[in-house]
Amino acid sequence: MPVTRHFDPDAFLAAAAPMAARGEASASFFTGWAHAMKRTPPAAGERVYLATVRDGATYGVAIRRDDGPVIIGQSDATAAAAFADDLAQDEPGLQGVVGALPAAKAFARRWHELTGRTRRLRVRLRQHALAVVNEVPAAPGAPRIATEADTEWLLEGQCAFVAEVGLPDPHERMRALLPKRVLRGEYRIWDYDGRVAFAGFSDAAPDFARIAPVYTPPECRGRGYATSLVARMASELLARGKQRLFLTTDIANPTSNAIYARIGFLAENDDWHFDFVAPVE
């Protein structure tokens, strides 16, 4: 089954558009990344994979940046296997795959056939969408835009967040990207006698934004800071013209799922993140 690799973000956006019919939250990964690439083209040497499959009724979309997993979302299983064939040619050390269960399993089965590596579940994810913000109890304190002076604190918190959630996001990559996001005004901090929580967003796409990361240091949890911060930030983004907001949670974390439901986020679909590991001898 033929895989089309895209090098023009606009061509990829057009080819990926049908994915929205299978879930806007999942599709926002693909369109959001493409818009981000238009705003900030990849650096020289940065590995980027934008691909689609369209063969009759079979359809699929895939993205990958640097050493991260390939994201295939709600792709058909047959298309997922085709992406595995395509990537195995030059990325046999692929970290993992993220997508709906049938697609992720199909990719992993084909990957095992091609490379001998087996799948191991890292995390099960839930995609959420929001169009209207609910009223939530206000925590003490107030939000503000993060500044350059907050960068090291944010880096420390984001490294802690990545370690806690178990994401395969190298610290070097965060150290390179986070200061740029701060300069673009993409982080908010909740202050109450000091910094007690933060949240970020990506709004490269014209009509939606994705919220991530959201983190409260352990000593500040249970007081509603993150709930108030995300609600206020969501209201701000909608007031600026965004029509929909999206975010991802770990299904195993009932606290975060309950927080976002109170704010107004509705669960849309689930993704499985499989790591690829060498078989046990």
Instruction: Tell me, yes or no, whether 79 and 140 share the same domain.
Output: no
Instruction: Tell me, yes or no, whether 156 and 122 share the same domain.
Output: no
Instruction: Tell me, yes or no, whether 137 and 252 share the same domain.
Output: yes
Predicted confidence at residue 188, as pLDDT, reads 98
Predicted confidence at residue 26, as pLDDT, reads 92
Predicted confidence at residue 280, as pLDDT, reads 64
For residue 68, what are the domain limits? 4-126+272-277
For the chain, which ranges sit under pLDDT 50? none
Instruction: Tell me, yes or no, whether 137 and 35 share the same domain.
Output: no
Predicted confidence at residue 163, as pLDDT, reads 87
Instruction: Tell me, yes or no, whether 216 and 112 share the same domain.
Output: no
Residue type, 122: R
Instruction: Tell me, yes or no, whether 204 and 99 share the same domain.
Output: no
Instruction: Tell me, yes or no, whether 94 and 145 share the same domain.
Output: no
Predicted confidence at residue 281, as pLDDT, reads 55
Instruction: Tell me, yes or no, whether 213 and 242 share the same domain.
Output: yes
pLDDT tens-digit map of 192-216: 999 999 999 999 999 999 999 999 9
Instruction: Tell me, yes or no, whether 191 and 119 share the same domain.
Output: no
What is this structure's pTM? 0.94
Predicted confidence at residue 184, as pLDDT, reads 96
pLDDT tens-digit map of 158-173: 999 988 887 777 778 8
Q: Number of structural domains, the chain? A: 2
Instruction: Tell me, yes or no, whether 137 and 249 share the same domain.
Output: yes
Any idea what the CATH number is for the domain that residue 223 is in? 3.40.630.30
Predicted confidence at residue 53, as pLDDT, reads 98
Predicted confidence at residue 89, as pLDDT, reads 87
Instruction: Tell me, yes or no, whether 117 and 173 share the same domain.
Output: no
Instruction: Tell me, yes or no, whether 116 and 142 share the same domain.
Output: no
